[in-house]
Amino acid sequence: MIPSAFDYHQPATLDEAIRLLANTEDAKVLAGGHSLLPAMKLRLAQPKTIVDLGRIVELSYIREENGRIAIGAMTTHFEIESSALLRDKCPLLPELALHIGDVQVRNKGTFGGSLVHADPAADWPAAVLALNAEFEIAGPNGRRTVQAAEFFVEMMQTAVQPNEILREVRMPVTPKSVAYAKFAQKASGFAIAGVAVLVTNQARTASIGITGVAAKPYRATAVEKHLQGKELSAELIRAASTKAADGIDPLNDIHASAEFRARLAQVQCQRALERAAAV
């Protein structure tokens, strides 16, 4: 299928892209195109103008700054998967990247595109929630920062407004006690239940992000509270993980019933915690 006609711009800088968004009617930015183009072909999206971010080199980087990891929005899944810096300083991200689609998807799809698209079955949201990431968003009035807890608004909707561009995602340098466990939809690889876990043994805390289960990703706060301040054991993890879908309204679709999804959340939560805590 062929999308409806649109004007096409390929700015070289972020400022130029923001100006184009501000001055053009019904414009949408294009990153890897792996979600936007199928939506356009199916006429689910019919933007009059496309602002392609592909030439903006200032949006593509992974670096460590002041004890934090900063990742540009146009960084691809593969660049994250293969980053030596991240393997050392934020190992949850390369581990999760390996779970995304296939090689072609990881080569083209971008970190920022996936996060702004906010597909309820996307993998990255679980990690950015577990890592307490912050998002820098650029728009006509300058830049603003949004915390992970406020970034995901509802299904396919984030705090990024139509005239704004996600510029950068920042997260703390984290220890190696991390894991991502996922039950994938077989054809696409998207998450039916994906659980990202960060365990801090010294402080006896766990931070847990869950995707695929509900309309928007969430922190498994009931599990976190159950684990808080206690020494992690297999028995404790099993008991805590039964709370992985507490207070959540699980999705119910052709891939999994709500009841099955809730159970998958519990099982994947237990698997991820066991791996991260090495029990």
Ligand X SMILES: Cc1cc2nc3c(=O)[nH]c(=O)nc-3n(C[C@H](O)[C@H](O)[C@H](O)COP(=O)(O)OP(=O)(O)OC[C@H]3O[C@@H](n4cnc5c(N)ncnc54)[C@H](O)[C@@H]3O)c2cc1C
Exactly one of 14, 18, 21, 30 binds ligand X (CB under 6 A); which one? 30
Work out whether 216 is an interface residue with ligand X (CB under 6 A).
no
* 105 contributes a contact to ligand X by CB under 6 A: yes
Question: DSSP states of 11-73 as a string?
Answer: -SSHHHHHHHHHHSTTEEEESS-TTHHHHHHTTS---SEEEEGGG-GGG--EEEETTEEEEET
CA distance linking residue 279 with residue 268, whole number of Å: 15
Q: Which is nearer to ligand X, 125 or 250 (CB)?
A: 125
- Residues within window 156-215 making contact with ligand X, judged by CB under 6 A: 160, 165-166, 188-190
Asked if 18 is part of the footprint of ligand X (rule: CB under 6 A), the reply reads no
How far apart are the C-alpha atoms of 27 and 259, rounded to whole Å?
Answer: 40
Residue 255 binds ligand X, judged by CB under 6 A:
no
Total residues contacting ligand X (rule CB under 6 A)?
Answer: 29
How long, in residues, is the chain?
279
Q: Is 33 in the site for ligand X (CB under 6 A)?
A: yes
Question: What mask of x and - would describe binding to ligand X in positions 36 to 65, judged by CB under 6 A?
Answer: x-----------------------------
Q: Could you say whether residue 28 binds ligand X (CB under 6 A)?
A: yes
Q: What are 52's two structure tokens? A: 């392609």
Burial (CB count within 10 angstroms: exposed 0-12, middle 13-18, buried 19+), residue 97: buried
Which residues contact ligand X by CB under 6 A?
A: 28-36, 73, 100-101, 105, 109-110, 112-114, 116-117, 122-124, 160, 165-166, 188-190
